[in-house]
Amino acid sequence: MNETISVLIVDDSALVRKALTNLLDGDPDIQVLAAAPDPLFAERYLRKRWPDVIVLDLEMPRMDGMTFLRKIMRERPTPVVVCSSLTQNGTQTSLHALAAGAVGTFAKPTSGIRNFFASDGHDLVDLVKASAGANLEPLARSHSTPHQEDVSRPDRPPVEHGAAGPGVGRVVLIGASTGGIQAIETVLRALPATAPPIAIVQHMPPQFTSALAARLDHVCAVSVKEAEPGDWLQPGQALIAPGGKHLALAQSGARYTVDITDTEPVNRHKPSVDVLFRSAARLGGGPGFLALLLTGMGTDGAKGLLSLKLTRARTIVQDEKSCVVFGMPREAVRLKAAGRILPLSGMSRAILAFASARS
């Protein structure tokens, strides 16, 4: 990116503001314009100059971050990165912020701030850079749809979590990163309770994935849960890789189960989409697998998608227009790993067509 990315930080902690400023200003492509202690101070600055990206805390005095986020999206949509504490309340609020239009979320600890940003801050730097070029149109469409607080879960037959059902004939694999929360919800909400088994990797930290699974389970006809070791893949159920762990497929007779491992990150991610896709390829892949690579920054999932395509599995990537960030799908297209390129609106139909195909 040729031009410097301007950033406004909004956080009520002076320690966090200083740590974030040092981190982001330390990158030659980023300039921190100001660091405000709350949204009211931020609004005063915005009257003078508007940044390319806003890094926003959610729990602040005088005006909370959610209120400020909705105000921004209503008045002048701008890429917003939520920087929230790793607390139960923080994860739930962060998911609501993503539904309200935030591009991405970054989990900060409740202690050890300086050391944390010094060792793990590169992920936030990358997220800010990706957010600066984000396509906000898909987020605006997502923001216009009902959210968890005003939608009841559709009726569905019970799924016996962890129970070994009949042998699985067809399996859907989904990988996503930045913008993926909204994209995955769009796909799953359009599927019936009879959908084929689904395994999902979304780049998220620990605690966030359990909250995401609970949210999706509330609004989708399919059952959604955070995957646990030994869970069986079964129709009508979607399993989400737990944050901070890898999810891989294993086979037991005619059935597929999941392995959860705490090994090293792959492509700097844990969970990694490549780990999931490559595990399916090692099991033989073939036409019984459909792999979708959705919006996200970086390259994770592209090589794994190619390995699946080489087994004659069906592979689809999300098109650039409907992606928040086209990085992962673009890499898959470059590697010729994409059997098809579809808009997000076509993904659910592709899954249903795959489920009913004879070969």
Helix (H), strand (E), coil (C) string for 196-226: CCEEEEECCCCCHHHHHHHHHHHHCCCEEEE
Q: What are phi and psi of 173, to 5 degrees?
A: -120, 135
Count Cα neighbours of 15 within 13 Å in the Cβ-side half-sphere.
Answer: 10
The type of residue at 234 is Q
Distances (CA, A) of 24 to 31, 110, 203, 205, 233: 7, 20, 21, 20, 42
pLDDT score, position 25:
95
Q: What is the pLDDT of residue 156?
A: 63
| pLDDT, mean of residues 90-102 | 84
Looking at every residue in the chain, the average pLDDT score rounds to 90
- Residue 5: pLDDT band (50, 70, 90) is very high
Predicted pLDDT of residue 162? 46
Looking from the CA of 36 toward its CB, the CA atoms found within 13 Å total 25
Q: How confident is the model at residue 90 (pLDDT cuts 50, 70, 90)?
A: low
- DSSP 8-state code for residue 53: E
Residue type, 76: R
The set of catalytic residues is: 177, 203, 300
Which domains does the chain carry?
A: 5-134 (3.40.50.2300), 161-356 (3.40.50.180)
Beta carbons within 10 angstroms of residue 154's beta carbon? 12
The average pLDDT across 35-45 equals 95
Report the range of poorest mean pLDDT among 126-135, 157-166, 242-251, 286-295.
157-166
Res 326 pLDDT > 60: yes
| Rounded average pLDDT over 30-37 | 97
Q: What is the pLDDT of residues 158-209, one digit of tens each?
A: 555 444 444 457 999 999 999 999 999 999 999 999 999 999 999 988 888 9
As a whole number, mean pLDDT of residues 20-34 equals 96
Mean pLDDT computed over 20-35: 96
Q: Is the pLDDT of residue 80 over 80?
A: yes
Instruction: Give the pLDDT confidence score for residue 151 in this predicted structure.
Output: 46
